[in-house]
């Protein structure tokens, strides 16, 4: 990526990135995505000042995306970053209107994420506790599946976030806190991990619940790598990654309870529509609810 330092558009970009970090509390990953997308846009349009930005420039950005054969989701991300940035510039009285709002993003399909069935989950989590790493990995996967955690939430857990034997505090998107119940199995393996955590020799002042062989908080990449490794060892037919365990949690909870609102709270979704995208009821359950509830559904016997 070309260096943007000294570029006339860079000052407002940096102010915006500081704003979404400290005022909106967006995650480091989101901030980096915005930085990357806006960096590319600034180099493409080559303006002297953001106050000159108009719809022709936004169309130019869209044209670059299409010539590069970017996927619809990547194009939507770039336009979304630009819209948010323009809203900030309007608030700062640099722009009078948002030229990116009249440019439509490409339509995105909404494929449901794949999930593991209960037998696959049981196979994945049958890990022999023959080493501290094996115990740690099982505890991480039991917590992810047992509580429906995001990857960042799992990696960000501190020892002090364990409220009791059956309850943890989680910090979700936008630094929003939620308190989650733990199942007996997740609580058991978390307790097993805490007994052997010291064998990885973390510093006494290391707050992280899960640490790596490097004696510090385990990284997102390493968590994903370890889950993929266990899935391969268990000879599962599909790749396993943290979000697949989260989606499996949501799917199994929803199929068993049918309580969409409760699953929304457990997942930490701000909007119910998000839960509807990431979870699904099987048709038999829907048909059963319909037959039992709708007055026109009852059949003559």
Which of these is catalytic: 34, 88, 145, 278? 278
pLDDT digits (tens, 9 = 90+) for 271-283: 777 676 655 545 4
**Is 145 noted as a catalytic residue in this protein?**
no
**Is 173 noted as a catalytic residue in this protein?**
yes
* Highest mean pLDDT, choosing among 23-32, 103-112, 268-277, 292-301: 23-32
* Burial tier of 122 (Cβ tally within 10 Å: 0-12, 13-18, 19+): exposed
**Is 278 noted as a catalytic residue in this protein?**
yes
Q: What is the arithmetic mean of pLDDT over 238-249?
A: 90
Which of these is catalytic: 60, 178, 243, 280? 243
3-state secondary structure of 288: helix
Predicted local distance difference test score (pLDDT) of residue 1: 46
How many CB atoms are closer than 10 A to CB 241?
16
Q: What is the arithmetic mean of pLDDT over 43-59?
A: 90
Diameter over CA atoms, the chain: 80
Q: Would the pLDDT of 288 be above 70?
A: no
CB-CB contact of 106 with 76 (8 Å): yes
E strands, the chain, are: 162-164, 167-171, 177-181
CB-CB contact of 211 with 197 (8 Å): yes
Which of these is catalytic: 39, 246, 247, 252? 246
pTM above 0.85, yes or no: no
121: left (phi over 0), alpha (psi -120 to 50) or beta: alpha
Contacts for 151 with CB less than 8 Å, ≥ 6 apart:
220, 223, 224, 242, 243
Q: What angle do CA 135, 252, 224 make, to 5 degrees?
A: 40
Q: What is the arithmetic mean of pLDDT over 228-242?
A: 91
Q: What angle do CA 167, 168, 174 make, to 5 degrees?
A: 140
Predicted local distance difference test score (pLDDT) of residue 59: 92
pLDDT, the chain, mean:
86
Residue 185 parent element (H or E): helix 184-196
* Burial tier of 43 (Cβ tally within 10 Å: 0-12, 13-18, 19+): middle
The span from the CA of 100 to the CA of 56, in Å, is: 10
Which of these is catalytic: 136, 138, 150, 244? 150
CB-CB contact of 169 with 163 (8 Å): yes
User: Which of 51-65, 68-82, 145-159, 280-294 has the lowest average pLDDT?
Assistant: 280-294
How far is CA 282 from each of CA 94, 128, 163, 251, 255, rounded to the nearest angstrom? 50, 33, 35, 9, 7
Which of these is catalytic: 101, 166, 173, 234? 173
**Is 83 noted as a catalytic residue in this protein?**
no
The span from the CA of 242 to the CA of 107, in Å, is: 27
- Residue pointed to by tokens 């509580």: 147
3-state secondary structure of 98: coil
Residues of the chain with pLDDT > 70, as a percent, come to 87
The span from the CA of 88 to the CA of 81, in Å, is: 11
Strands 162-164 and 167-171: antiparallel
Strands 167-171 and 177-181: antiparallel
Q: Would the pLDDT of 227 be above 90?
A: yes
Q: Would the pLDDT of 292 be above 50?
A: yes
Of 111, 256, 115, residue with least CA distance to 183: 256
pLDDT digits (tens, 9 = 90+) for 183-206: 899 999 999 999 999 999 999 999
pLDDT digits (tens, 9 = 90+) for 128-152: 899 999 999 999 999 999 999 999 9
Predicted local distance difference test score (pLDDT) of residue 301: 44
Contacts for 6 with CB less than 8 Å, ≥ 6 apart:
none
Predicted local distance difference test score (pLDDT) of residue 297: 62
CB-CB contact of 161 with 209 (8 Å): yes
**Is 150 noted as a catalytic residue in this protein?**
yes
3-state secondary structure of 166: coil
**Is 246 noted as a catalytic residue in this protein?**
yes
């Amino acid at each position: 990526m070309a260096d943007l330092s000294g570029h006339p558009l860079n000052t407002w970009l940096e102010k915006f990135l500081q704003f979404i970090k400290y005022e909106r509390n967006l995650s480091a990953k989101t901030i980096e995505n915005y930085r990357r997308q806006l960096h590319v846009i600034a180099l493409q349009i080559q303006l002297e000042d953001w106050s000159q930005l108009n719809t022709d420039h936004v169309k130019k950005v869209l044209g670059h995306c299409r010539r590069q054969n970017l996927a619809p989701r990547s194009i939507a991300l770039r336009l979304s970053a630009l819209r948010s940035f323009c809203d900030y510039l309007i608030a700062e009285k640099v722009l009078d209107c948002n030229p990116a709002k009249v440019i439509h993003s490409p339509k995105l399909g909404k494929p449901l994420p794949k999930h593991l069935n209960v037998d696959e989950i049981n196979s994945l989590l049958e890990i022999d506790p023959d080493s501290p790493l094996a115990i740690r990995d099982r505890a991480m996967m039991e917590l992810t599946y047992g509580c429906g955690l995001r990857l960042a939430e799992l990696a960000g857990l501190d020892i002090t976030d364990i409220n009791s034997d059956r309850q943890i505090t989680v910090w979700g998107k936008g630094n929003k806190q939620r308190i989650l119940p733990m199942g007996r199995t997740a609580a058991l393996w978390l307790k097993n991990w805490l007994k052997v955590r010291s064998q990885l020799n973390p510093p006494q002042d290391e707050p992280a619940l899960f640490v790596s062989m490097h004696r510090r908080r385990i990284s997102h990449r390493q968590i994903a790598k370890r889950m993929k490794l266990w899935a391969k060892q268990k000879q599962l037919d599909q790749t396993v990654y943290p979000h697949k365990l989260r989606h499996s949690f949501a799917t199994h909870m929803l199929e068993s309870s049918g309580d969409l609102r409760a699953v929304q709270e457990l997942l930490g979704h701000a909007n119910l529509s998000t839960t509807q995208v990431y979870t699904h009821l099987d048709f038999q359950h829907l048909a059963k609810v319909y037959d039992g509830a709708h007055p026109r559904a009852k059949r003559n016997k």
